[in-house]
Amino acid sequence: MKINPYIFRGYDIRGLVDKDLNSQVIECIGKAYGTFLLKRGIKKTIVGRDCRLSSESYSQAIIKGICSTGVDVIDIGLALVGTIYWAQYYFDVRGCVSVSGSHNPVEYNGFKLATGLSQTMLSEEVQELREIAEKGEFKQGKGRVEKKDVKKPYFKDLLKRFSLPLKFKVVVDPAHSTAGAFAPELLEKAGCQVICNHCELDGSFPIGVPDPTERKTAERLSKKILETKAALGFSYDSDGDRIGVVDEKGNIVWNDVLVALFSAAVLEEQPGAKIVFNTLCSKVVDDIIKEKKGRAVMWRTGHSFIKAKAQQEKASFAGELSGHFYFLDKFYPHDDGLYSTLRLLSYLAKSNQSLSEALDSLPKYLSSPEIKLYCADDKKVELIKKISPVLKQNFPGAEVIDDERAGDGVRIDFPDAMFVVRYSQNGPYLTVKFEAKTEDRYSFLRNYIKELLHNYKEVDWASKINVNIEALLGE
């Protein structure tokens, strides 16, 4: 079967609905995944889905393909990806599929596929799956499907890990995505007063993509917090593994600052612990880990890469700018947006601080949000290869990180600043992040990067996929 090879990305599958992905293609992917699992002695898998308009039919198609190989399926229906990972432990099942386009636009959908407990495919395994699908040599059998509802035991397990009640007034804004069916109920059970903003499920995402890293998402959340005098607010992406946070003053808290705060909290209890973070994170993360006598491990961007590295390093905590957090000290070694939400609330309750007070103790940088610029999948890798030597030439005195720690781009580090340019593993775009201690230095980096990228026609500045480009344009 002819399948667009670019849907097989760095650690998952993402493609355009009805163009790259249809029922036949997805059934073929299901057959390939079932075959992949059986080669590893895995005979059962969990399947869950987000609320996108295509996700229910796509879930049915991949289940059909998996079952045709003889692999059994536990279908947990509408679910956050953290719930799906959790269900692996609950049912003692090594396989799992999350049907979701995550933070991508509504035109996209995709699949996260497990290789073991809390373990999702890395690049080599995704390509192995592609080869199985293209060859069409599938195992054959008759797998069974069981439908299970795990919300109640999942909530029970999360809540028992914290001292309750957590008496906070919180705003929840999942932008009509899947978390709307889970986060408000869980937080109310935890003792919170919950103000719902766009919690009704609507897979067409009428107010825009559920992306916690988008400034407009954070600004909408900020407005509601100030209007309702809430203590803080949370936003979520479509599969609920990533969060966004705004404090009681309406200040946007970019997630690398949250990585620093969580790192400080973990290191207070576990001095000397290893902390893993991705190359897009602010220098504040490394600063705070060193200040708290922890061991910093910078690694390449991507939830599967960071998760695998954290497990390999036996880290106590790992985090990414995108809002994926991994609390290996007291939870399963995977990202779960609802657990991250409770963990932050629990820390604030224990320390008797507001979020803004907790953040006041951290070093300060002027920092851009995560910026995304469209660049076609068949051009983005070569573009980074063009840009890398230019950066090295232009900044000979800086520390250049372009080895396995960066993986898919370049990070330029200065004593008072840093910036990153990389290509995305799960979408047709470049990612940019920059920061500095002073306004002048920040403006210099912004203008440099803007002028640099305008030299390459591969970058589409008008694409609707672009995110937060006003931070680069100085608007």
Structure tokens at 165: 């009640």
Residues 6+ apart with CB under 8 A from 195: 169, 170, 171, 172, 224, 228, 230
User: Using CA atoms in the order 132, 136, 137, 138, what is the torsion angle rounded to 10 degrees?
Assistant: 80
Strand partners, 13: 8, 111
Contacts of 13 (CB under 8 A, 6+ apart): 7, 29, 110, 111, 113, 126
Q: What are phi and psi of 165, to 5 degrees?
A: -85, 160
Q: What angle do CA 10, 13, 15 make, to 5 degrees?
A: 115
State how far the alpha carbon of 388 is from the alpha carbons of 60, 143, 385, in Å.
43, 49, 6
DSSP reduced 3-state for 99: strand
Assess whether 238 carries a catalytic annotation.
no
- C-alpha Rg value of the chain to the nearest Å: 21
Task: Please answer whether residues 164 and 224 qualify as being in contact, where contact means their C-beta atoms are separated by less than 8 angstroms.
Answer: no
Among 284, 280, 168, which residue's Cα sits nearest to residue 228?
A: 168
- DSSP-derived letter for residue 467 is B
Measured CA distances, 194 to 144, 217, 329, 333, 355 (Å): 40, 18, 28, 28, 17
Type of residue found at 164: L
Q: Which amino acid is at 382?
A: E
Q: Which of 59, 98, 102, 304 is catalytic?
A: 102
What are the φ and ψ backbone dihedral angles of 169, each rounded to 5 degrees?
-95, 115
**Residues belonging to the active site:** 102
